[in-house]
Amino acid sequence: MTIDFGGVGGQVDRTVSSLRPLRRLLSETQRCLANADQLPLPFLQKAVDRLERACTEDARRAVPDLVEVVSDTRAELGRVSQAREDVDRRRQDLAREAKHRGWPASHTASADHIGPFEVHHSNQVARIRMGSLPIAAVQRPGAAQLISLLESTKATLHRQALEGWGAFVHSLDVAQREISASEPVPWKELIERAFPDKKARQAKQKVNFYRLAMLISGVAPEGWAVATASPVLAEQRSAFDVPRLDQPGQIVRVNRVRLVRL
């Protein structure tokens, strides 16, 4: 009698090979769904997709309940995805999460004001702005995911704003005196005169906008600040909104400014 030890051994090897990554993927997917509100939806989708791909025929034979678990996982992903399209629920969750993490927040019919940021919602996307400056568009986010993004964005902008601050404000001061000895000057003209390299200026757009918010809010280093002149009617098209960092939810309409040292 011929006993097919080799064939059975091959089956065992294939099954072990299938189960080893499957065990890791099960744990990873469980952690992802347990922390779903903190994670981007595409990340969750990829985790579930990886688990489904690991559900091979050998793995299904070895673990009879695997098919049901994978099916339930896909259903839970669908529930999370659908819940994130509920704008009212997202905004309520965002308000709770902001309060929990100590962010000052206020809310209008159309937007949530979280620190210096505005968040505008549709069922598919949350759009984040800082005054007139677009920051990010996030597809069907969770509330914790949104707050984490705001935290990291503000921390990064603040750190980058302080780096090279002395050279930045010196360039502004020189450019301002070249344009006018005493009168407020258009911010856009000032920043272009101080930093004529368009490509470099665009690369620093968000950081320089945050620096302007610091100057307007009276929280800039070394006693620097800007006084703003209220835009007249003819200036409204070139004016833009800047949030006050010291008064969350408050916006300043800006066109002409005067850099001063207090």
If pLDDT is split at 50, 70 and 90, which confidence band does 164 have?
very high
- Res 89 pLDDT > 90: yes
d(CA 54, CA 21): 7
The model's pLDDT over 216-253, given as tens digits with 9 standing for 90+, comes to: 999 999 999 999 999 999 999 999 999 999 887 899 99
pTM score of the predicted model: 0.84
* Residue 119 β-bridge partners: 112, 128
Question: What mean pLDDT, rounded, does the chain reach?
Answer: 91
pLDDT tops 70 at residue 198: yes
Count of the separate structural domains present in the chain: 3
Asked if 106 and 65 sit in the same domain, the reply is no
Name the H helices within the chain: 5-34, 41-53, 57-62, 66-83, 87-100, 143-162, 165-179, 187-194, 198-203, 205-217
In a domain, 152, yes or no: no
Strands 117-121 and 111-114: antiparallel
Helix or strand or coil: residue 136? strand
Same domain, 91 and 78: no
CA distance 93 to 96: 5
Q: Is the pLDDT of residue 5 over 50?
A: no
C-alpha 160: how far from chain center = 16
- Which residues neighbour 220 within 8 Å (Cβ) at sequence distance 6 or greater? 165, 169, 211, 214
Structure tokens at 133: 């400056």
Verify that 171 and 255 share a domain, yes or no.
yes
Indicate the SS3 state at residue 165.
Answer: helix
Of 12-16, 116-120, 168-172, give the lowest mean pLDDT range. 12-16
Residues 78 and 91 in one domain: no
User: Is 196 domain-assigned?
Assistant: yes
Burial 200-239 (b: 16+ CB within 10 A, else e): eeeebebbbbbbbbbbbbeebeeebbbebeebeeeeeeeb
pLDDT at 98 over 90: yes
Residue 149 inside a domain? The answer is no
* Residue 131, in any domain of the structure: yes
At what angle are helices 187-194 and 165-179 packed, to 10 degrees? 110
State whether 37 and 71 are in the same domain. yes
Residue range 14-54, pLDDT digits in tens: 767 667 788 889 899 999 999 999 999 999 999 999 999 88
Does some domain include residue 23?
A: yes
Residue 2 has pLDDT above 80, yes or no: no
Is there a contact between 59 and 19 (Cβ–Cβ < 8 Å)?
yes
Give the tens place of pLDDT for each residue, 130-147: 999 999 999 999 999 999
Q: Which domain holds residue 250?
A: 164-261
* Residue 67 and residue 23 share a domain: yes
Q: Are residues 33 and 17 in the same domain?
A: yes
